[in-house]
Structure 1
């Protein structure tokens, strides 16, 4: 009993009183008192086993919270499209992993529209999307501007091509219900242009490859094909009027609460993009 009093920085009578109060509350005898101290009764041992387990779990919980605070433990579930994952996110992910190697990242590949829905339903911590609707209520941080362009293996027939002229060429587009395709369709509709679509596919990577082998004129994100254009593997077809710029952004729901790991990721992305 004296050891317990010393460890808890209280007097021995105070501990004895606390034990008596606990025994009274529980209606059982917890300790057998003798000349050399006290030993647990069977009921006392039963209570001790359960309490010891609870204290171990509390200790483990505190330990995990310290690890979360120190960024040595944690997980982030990020939604992103295949296109943005390949062309934009992979270099960033490498830099983030070098700084925070203990933080686990789960990547959920969906279109931007599907990703937004998953975020609203609470299945994701955050998302990187290539389009944002004005009525969107989620928190949005713009990371960079992107420009949609048209490309082909052939050189453009004119220095600047009237948008309407594209109706004469076989077109390669991303499939419908995709943020990039929706952005293009809204633009074309405004200018009363109906394209002759030969191929629709879910992957921008394949659109670029199809354009390289001469299957048609592809609608792609110019920021992601700068190297192919520089190496003359494909040529940009400038059109007038040009497609409006849009942005890539980081999307999250502040109202649901943000974990330490997710907040670390958000702040790292902002710093990495000079925000």
Structure 2
């Protein structure tokens, strides 16, 4: 930093060709101006100014340094501005991992709104299940994750983001609906269910919710295991099966009478979507995106 300031003193003096005006412009004393110029001349081994009476002029070496000093100071200022933009999240990169439900039904609008406000950022978004996202965060291949639920992994910090509810749905033409006009909890054990794969946050939430009601997955008729919400909805359209899906993912199908929600009074499965990242804090674009999303105040 010492050399940087000496260069600024020289550059200002070269513009004014007057040490008194230089001192005033930089809010330092005139002896401080002389001292910085002398130190710079000593470092470079050449005189930078020559005095002829009351006039102060640049030497040939001073002319060369002045030409490059302007470029150096401009680059220094540009670098400082870009670093500030990076720290404030106005410019930078984000590698984001989101679990399936969030990636398909929540994230697109958030990303579009964020980039409208902060257009100089570059974001890469990847879809994976919650377990894989946690592993990639620990491996530092992701900056930030959004998962369906949290774990007790001490390396990761979880921040509640958005409330969700998992509802039991089926094909609206399913003849089994006639037997479920007043459904009870035990009906779940006799219904053909479609589940997500192991490692899915949705599956973990369902499994834990049923276990809280003393129902183990071993007691449930699992007809099919599929890797995504869309594949499950496509399957339900052609089969008289049932599945627990996020209410965010079935609103259109319920509105169009393609899927029907089966309300079991004794069973409410609520969860939160979580932002997650390595402990130690976030900076730049990852933090800016996190704070942007938390300000949205999402509700069911």
TM-score by length of 2: 0.71
- Decide which of 137, 141, 158 is 1:119's aligned counterpart: 137
Question: What is the CA deviation profile of residues 240-259 of structure 1, one whole-angstrom value per residue up to 9, with x for unaligned ones?
Answer: 74253211123344623422
Matched residue, 1:152:
170
Question: What is the CA deviation profile of residues 188-213 of structure 1, one whole-angstrom value per residue up to 9, with x for unaligned ones?
Answer: 45413423333222211111121112
What is the distance in 2 between the residues matched to 1:34 and 1:110? 71
After superposition, the Cα gap between the structure-2 partners of 1:55 and 1:170, relative to the gap in structure 1 and judged at 3 Å, is same
Determine if contact 2:130/2:200 at 8 Å carries over to the other structure.
yes
User: 5+ residue gaps in structure 1?
Assistant: none
After superposition, the Cα gap between the structure-2 partners of 1:48 and 1:124, relative to the gap in structure 1 and judged at 3 Å, is farther
Matched residue, 2:100:
82
What is the distance in 1 between the residues matched to 2:137 and 2:292? 20
TM-score by length of 1: 0.76
Matched residue, 2:9:
none
1:196 corresponds to 2:221: yes
Matched residue, 2:3:
none
Determine if contact 2:167/2:269 at 8 Å carries over to the other structure.
no
Determine if contact 2:229/2:249 at 8 Å carries over to the other structure.
no
Matched residue, 2:151:
133
What is the distance in 2 between the residues matched to 1:274 and 1:173? 26
CA RMSD of aligned residues (A): 3.7
Matched residue, 1:224:
249
Determine if contact 1:160/1:237 at 8 Å carries over to the other structure.
no
Matched residue, 1:271:
295
After superposition, the Cα gap between the structure-2 partners of 1:71 and 1:222, relative to the gap in structure 1 and judged at 3 Å, is closer
Question: What is the CA deviation profile of residues 30-63 of structure 1, one whole-angstrom value per residue up to 9, with x for unaligned ones?
Answer: 6596968443459x96x88987765444222122
Question: What is the CA deviation profile of residues 76-133 of structure 1, one whole-angstrom value per residue up to 9, with x for unaligned ones?
Answer: 3322113211112223333333333333332132212222333344443432221012
Determine if contact 2:160/2:273 at 8 Å carries over to the other structure.
yes
What is the distance in 2 between the residues matched to 1:131 and 1:65? 34
- Decide which of 53, 59, 62 is 1:39's aligned counterpart: 59
Would you say how many aligned residue pairs link Structure 1 and Structure 2? 271
Determine if contact 1:162/1:241 at 8 Å carries over to the other structure.
yes
What is the distance in 2 between the residues matched to 1:224 and 1:267? 24
